[in-house]
Chain A
Amino acid sequence: MASTASALIPCGQFKTEYRKDTTIFPTPMSRGFAIAAVLLLCIAPLQIGGVELLSPYQLNILIQIGYYGIAALGLNILVGFTGQISLGHAAFFGFGAFASAWLNNDFGVPVFWAIPLAGLMTTVVGMLFGIPAARIKGLYLAIATFAAQFILEDFFARADWFTGGSSGTIAQSFSIFGFAITGDRQYFYVVLAYMVVLFLLGANLLRSRDGRAFVAVRDHYLSAEIMGINLTKYRVLSFGVAAFYAGVGGALFGHYLSFVSAESFTILLSIQFLGMIIIGGLGSVMGTLMGTAFMVLLPEVVQAFSQTAGNVFPALTDGIAFLKEGAIGLAIVLFLIFEPDGLAHRWKMIKAYWKLYPFSY
Chain B
Amino acid sequence: MKPTVLAAAAAALAFGAGTAFAADPVFVGHLVDYTGPTSDVGKPYGQGVADALAYINKSGGVAGRQLKFETVDYSYNAPRAISLYKKWVGTDKAVAIQGWGTADTEALVGFQAADKVPNFSASYSGHLTDPAGKGPKGSKPAPYNFFYGPSYSDGCRALVQWAAEDAKKKGIDKPKFVHLGDNHPYPNAPKEGCAAYATELGFQVMPPIQYSLKPGDFKAQCLSLKDSGAHYAFLANTGGSTISLLKSCETVGVSTQFLANVWGMDENALRTAGDAADGVMFVVGGADWKSDAPGMKTVREISKISDASGNEYRPVHYMRGICSAFYMRDAMAAASKMDGGITGPNIKAAMEQMKDHVPAELEGVCIPSTWTAEDHRGTTKVFIYRANSKGGEQSISKAGEAEIPRKAEWLGW
Listed in ascending order, the chain A residues whose CB lies under 8 Å from chain B are 56-57, 60, 157-158, 165-168, 170, 183-184, 257-261, 263-264, 303, 307, 317, 320-321, 324
| Given A158-B183, A264-B79, 6 more pairs with CB closer than 8 A | A57-B91, A166-B183, A168-B78, A259-B79, A261-B78, A307-B2
* Residues B82 and A259 in contact, CB atoms below 8 Å apart: yes
Bound: A278/B73 CA distance, A: 30
* Residues A56 and B73 in contact, CB atoms below 8 Å apart: no
B272 interface residue per 8 A CB criterion: no
* Residues A321 and B35 in contact, CB atoms below 8 Å apart: yes
Contact of A257 (CB < 8 Å), options: B3, B79, B185: B79
Q: How far is the CB of A289 from chain B (nearest CB, A)?
A: 22
Chain B neighbourhood of A168, CB < 8 A: 78, 103, 107
* Residues A321 and B73 in contact, CB atoms below 8 Å apart: yes
Chain A neighbourhood of B103, CB < 8 A: 166-168, 261, 263
Bound: A263/B87 CA distance, A: 21
Given the known inter-chain contacts A168-B103, A258-B82, A259-B79, please indicate yes or no for A303 contacting B3, CB distance below 8 A: no
Contact of B78 (CB < 8 Å), options: A60, A158, A263: A263
Chain B neighbourhood of A307, CB < 8 A: 2, 4
Contact of B185 (CB < 8 Å), options: A166, A170, A258, A259: A166
Chain B neighbourhood of A167, CB < 8 A: 103, 106-107, 185, 188
Q: How far is the CB of B355 from chain A (nearest CB, A)?
A: 32
Bound: A157/B188 CA distance, A: 12
Contact of A303 (CB < 8 Å), options: B2, B77, B110, B188: B2
Q: How far is the CB of A160 from chain B (nearest CB, A)?
A: 11
Bound: A183/B91 CA distance, A: 12
Binary contact track B72-86/A, C-beta < 8 Å → 1, others 0: 010001110011000
* Residues A259 and B78 in contact, CB atoms below 8 Å apart: yes
Bound: A321/B35 CA distance, A: 9
Q: How far is the CB of A185 from chain B (nearest CB, A)?
A: 11
Chain B neighbourhood of A158, CB < 8 A: 183
* Residues B83 and A257 in contact, CB atoms below 8 Å apart: yes
Chain A neighbourhood of B188, CB < 8 A: 166-167
Contact of B1 (CB < 8 Å), options: A56, A257, A321: A321
From B4, B77, B91, B103, name the one whose CB has the most chain A CB atoms within 10 angstroms: B103
* Residues B78 and A157 in contact, CB atoms below 8 Å apart: no
* Residues B35 and A259 in contact, CB atoms below 8 Å apart: no
Q: How far is the CB of A324 from chain B (nearest CB, A)?
A: 6
Bound: A183/B78 CA distance, A: 20
The binding surface of chain B is classed by DSSP as helix
Chain A neighbourhood of B184, CB < 8 A: 166
Bound: A157/B103 CA distance, A: 12
Contact of B91 (CB < 8 Å), options: A56, A166, A303: A56
Q: What are 15 pairs between A and B in contact, CB < 8 Å? A: A56-B90, A56-B91, A57-B87, A60-B87, A166-B185, A167-B107, A167-B188, A168-B107, A170-B107, A170-B110, A257-B83, A258-B82, A261-B103, A263-B79, A321-B35
B111 interface residue per 8 A CB criterion: yes
Bound: A257/B104 CA distance, A: 12
Question: In B82-103, which residues have CB < 8 Å from any A CB?
Answer: 82-83, 87, 90-91, 103
The binding surface of chain A is classed by DSSP as helix
Chain B neighbourhood of A260, CB < 8 A: 79
Bound: A258/B35 CA distance, A: 25
Contact of A157 (CB < 8 Å), options: B2, B107, B183: B183
Interface size on B (CB < 8 Å)? 23
Q: How far is the CB of A334 from chain B (nearest CB, A)?
A: 22
* Residues B1 and A324 in contact, CB atoms below 8 Å apart: yes
In the A-B complex, list the 7 residue pairs whose CB atoms are closest, starting with the nearest: A264-B79, A321-B1, A167-B185, A261-B78, A259-B82, A259-B107, A166-B183
Question: In B49-90, which residues have CB < 8 Å from any A CB?
Answer: 73, 77-79, 82-83, 87, 90
Which residue of the partner chain A has the closest CB to B90? A56
Bound: A303/B3 CA distance, A: 10
Which residue of the partner chain A has the closest CB to B82? A259
Binary contact track B1-12/A, C-beta < 8 Å → 1, others 0: 111100000000
Q: How far is the CB of B269 from chain A (nearest CB, A)?
A: 23
Binary contact track B171-189/A, C-beta < 8 Å → 1, others 0: 0000000000001110010
Which residue of the partner chain B has the closest CB to A299? B1
Bound: A165/B83 CA distance, A: 20
Which residue of the partner chain A has the closest CB to B110? A170
Q: How far is the CB of A164 from chain B (nearest CB, A)?
A: 9
Bound: A176/B185 CA distance, A: 33
Contact of A258 (CB < 8 Å), options: B4, B90, B111: B111
Bound: A56/B2 CA distance, A: 18
Q: How far is the CB of B83 from chain A (nearest CB, A)?
A: 6
Q: How far is the CB of B139 from chain A (nearest CB, A)?
A: 13
Which residue of the partner chain B has the closest CB to A64? B83
Bound: A53/B107 CA distance, A: 32
Given the known inter-chain contacts A167-B185, A303-B2, please indicate yes or no for A261 contacting B79, CB distance below 8 A: yes
Bound: A324/B2 CA distance, A: 11
Chain A neighbourhood of B79, CB < 8 A: 257, 259-261, 263-264
Q: How far is the CB of A167 from chain B (nearest CB, A)?
A: 5
Bound: A183/B90 CA distance, A: 9
Chain A neighbourhood of B90, CB < 8 A: 56, 183-184
Q: How far is the CB of B236 from chain A (nearest CB, A)?
A: 13
Which residue of the partner chain B has the closest CB to A323? B1
Chain B neighbourhood of A303, CB < 8 A: 1-2
Bound: A258/B90 CA distance, A: 14
Which residue of the partner chain A has the closest CB to B111? A258
Q: How far is the CB of B260 from chain A (nearest CB, A)?
A: 21
Bound: A258/B107 CA distance, A: 10
* Residues B107 and A320 in contact, CB atoms below 8 Å apart: no
Q: How far is the CB of B337 from chain A (nearest CB, A)?
A: 33
Which residue of the partner chain B has the closest CB to A165? B183
